[in-house]
Amino acid sequence: MTTKDVKQNQLVTRETRWKPMVWRIYKVDDQGKYETTVERYDDHLVMTVPFADASHEKAEEVKQRVLRNESSSIEYFMYKRLLDPKALAQAMGVAVWRLKRHFKPDVFKKLDRNKLQEYAKIFKVQVDDLINFREDA
């Protein structure tokens, strides 16, 4: 069989192969029966409000540690940008244990400029904001 033997309506394109991300939502109507609705999300990052609130609380806690020189600004910006160690390590292309070493102020001070630029790009801040810790960045 060749591509000439396949009819046009039988061709499967990439767009039809991949299903959009949908959520089926169940709720009870006025008669006590379940009804479902389907909502489509084009963005693959769907987050909940409790997660965002917890992450911002953690960022505030880490901010105090950064100000006391007990942690690096990397940990603060990680939580501020709603990331977790696993997601940030994956974005940086390093192991989680190595990323957590970068949270230590002594190790953070030894990071080279290229590594800091990678972090700054992910956090959408300037390198100087990481080095001098500007929380409003």
Q: Tell the CATH topology of 49-131.
A: 434 Repressor (Amino-terminal Domain) (1.10.260)
CB 35 within 8 A of CB 57: no
Closest by CA position to 23, among listed 45, 39, 12: 39
- Tens of pLDDT along the chain (137 residues)? 454 554 555 544 444 444 555 666 677 778 888 777 666 554 444 555 667 778 888 999 999 999 999 999 999 999 999 888 999 999 999 999 999 999 999 999 999 999 999 999 999 999 999 999 977 76
Helices 113-123 and 73-80, packing angle to 10 deg: 20
Q: Detail the DSSP E strand segments found in the chain.
A: 21-28, 34-41
Q: Report CA-CA distances (Å) from 71 to 27, 35, 102, 104, 109.
A: 45, 49, 9, 5, 11
CB 39 within 8 A of CB 25: yes
Helices 85-92 and 113-123, packing angle to 10 deg: 120
CB 88 within 8 A of CB 78: yes
Domain range annotation of the chain: 12-41, 49-131
